[in-house]
Structure 1
Amino acid sequence: MALKCVAIDDEPLALELVKNYVAWFPALQLVNTFEDAVSGAEYLRNNPIDLLFVDINMPDITGIDLVRSLAVKPMVIFTTAYKNFAFEGFELEAIDYLLKPIDVKRFGKAVEKAVEYYKYKNTFTKEGEDESLYVYSEYRMVKIDLKEIEYIESMEDYIKIHVHNAKTILTLMPLKKVLEKLPEDKFQRIHRSYIVPVKKIISIQGRKVKLADIELPISDSYADFARRWVKM
């Protein structure tokens, strides 16, 4: 099934370009376009869609304010002529943002992310399939293979996801929230600041969990984890 899309941009040429690009991707179905944000917002409040392409800088209201005003938010791909992307877009968890003039290959990558995230949110993972975690980092939705996570560390309002042989991923999310997204039988919290993958624990001695490259503390609140780990 194709994702139902709407495009909003006050620049007719930019809007036409997005319209043409959408037509090249069978995974997308463009249901409407708007040259002003007010009309677009009114349509979105009454017509559920899957994916929104929206310009950030528009004269009546910004694309960011438009998305924030929606009670039911679709997946969002922002388009902008400016390299400095507003921090508010981070809070709205956009799938991606595209810098104008938009390149078709870059457009395709953003579409691929949207399709993958839609499948992730709307289908159940079958036993034996790779499982993934999606988080918002560096103004984009990032897909992380659960098998590659070494451990997760809290940094006040942010968390650092340490990934095997890859750059550490920083995202604005409390540790409690990311724990809710992870399978309980595969990841366990051992401290107010740490979550670990159960299968990557090499040993537990005293109040220390040994992983491949680091030892992490077990806090008093999670002291019973050592006993439960033996049975896992």
Structure 2
Amino acid sequence: MSPSSKIRCIIVDDEELARALIKEYVSKIPTLELIGSFKSPLEAMELLQTTSVDLMFLDIQMPALTGIQFLKSLEKKPVVIFTTAYPEYALEGYELDVVDYLVKPVSIERFLHGVNKATKILHNKTGSSGTTSQPDFIVVHADHKIYRLPLADILYIEGLREYVSYFTADGKRIIALESLKRLEEILPAHMFMRVHKSYIVPINRVRVIEGNMVMIEKKGIPIGASYKEATLKALMPG
């Protein structure tokens, strides 16, 4: 898949309300395309055998066949995000290379975090075949809206406890429930770097280094002592 194509996803969950909630979340994200919703793994099997599926939201505790048993039975596995009311299954899920583990009731914030991780993995898989390996945007949930924020529009990101602020080239500030640590995992490392415990910056927007600060337009961003060596190495290679 290319960065511009939609992520084809399915939902497998025996609970109707759980399927409806995930379906609603999927409908809010323009990069996702729901191609199937099933109340049992056996119903989903035929589609998985005949159609290309990128991402599967999979419940664990289901009658007849659990999500873990179902996943182990698949020869060709899509990227999987577990959705379950039972957190004790998390370890086994990660051993199966599941991308994320969402505990019900699933919040939109946690859902978006999982989707961002899945998006990065899917594009990295594509990159191994020689096409572009990174998406050119990040999905941000803020102000009761879903933003498809182009990476090129980000001036810098500032963290404050459990929130982050995205400052954009057109003068906007978008505040979202997120952490800089998670963003370090999601954002492409060749484009963004953390220069301070409270700041992530786009590497190509840094024009001047002045003392213990990097300048992005007229904004001075401090360089943390523990980040200084890596920052200078990234900004002045060789």
TM-score, normalised by the number of residues in structure 1: 0.54
The one-letter amino acid of 1:197's match is: P
CA contact (8 A) 2:191 2:202 kept: yes
The one-letter amino acid of 1:153's match is: E
Q: Does residue 43 of structure 1 match 2:75?
A: no
- After TM superposition, the structure 1 = structure 2 runs for residues 76-225 of structure 1, keeping only pairs within 5 Å, are 89-90=107-108, 93-95=110-112, 120-124=120-124, 125=127, 126-127=131-132, 130-138=135-143, 142-165=147-170, 167-224=172-229, 225=231
CA contact (8 A) 1:160 1:169 kept: yes
CA gap 1:214/1:77 in 2 versus in 1, 3 angstroms: farther
Q: Does residue 31 of structure 1 match 2:38?
A: yes
CA contact (8 A) 1:89 1:139 kept: no
| Alpha-carbon distance in structure 2 between the residues aligned to 1:2 and 1:184 | 26
RMSD (CA atoms) = 4.5
Gaps of 5+ in 1: 34-39, 53-65, 79-87, 96-113
Number of the residue aligned with 2:10: 3
| Alpha-carbon distance in structure 2 between the residues aligned to 1:146 and 1:197 | 9
Larger Cα Rg: Structure 1 or Structure 2?
A: 1
How many pairs align? 176
Number of the residue aligned with 2:237: 231
TM-superposed CA distance for 1:135, in Å, is: 4.7
CA gap 1:46/1:218 in 2 versus in 1, 3 angstroms: same
CA contact (8 A) 2:61 2:84 kept: no
| Alpha-carbon distance in structure 2 between the residues aligned to 1:228 and 1:120 | 22
TM-superposed CA distance for 1:148, in Å, is: 1.6
| Alpha-carbon distance in structure 2 between the residues aligned to 1:143 and 1:76 | 25
SS at the partner of 1:133?
strand
The one-letter amino acid of 1:165's match is: D
CA contact (8 A) 1:209 1:216 kept: yes
171-180 or 205-214, larger mean C-alpha shift? 171-180
TM-superposed CA distance for 1:201, in Å, is: 0.7
CA shift digits 1:93-126 (9 cap, x unpaired): 135xxxxxxxxxxxxxxxxxx7x98655434253
CA contact (8 A) 1:5 1:28 kept: no
CA contact (8 A) 2:213 2:221 kept: yes
Number of the residue aligned with 2:54: none
The one-letter amino acid of 2:159's match is: S
| Alpha-carbon distance in structure 1 between the residues aligned to 2:223 and 2:166 | 18
TM-superposed CA distance for 1:131, in Å, is: 2.6
Identity %: 20
CA gap 1:123/1:191 in 2 versus in 1, 3 angstroms: closer
Number of the residue aligned with 1:98: none
TM-score, normalised by the number of residues in structure 2: 0.53
The one-letter amino acid of 2:111's match is: A
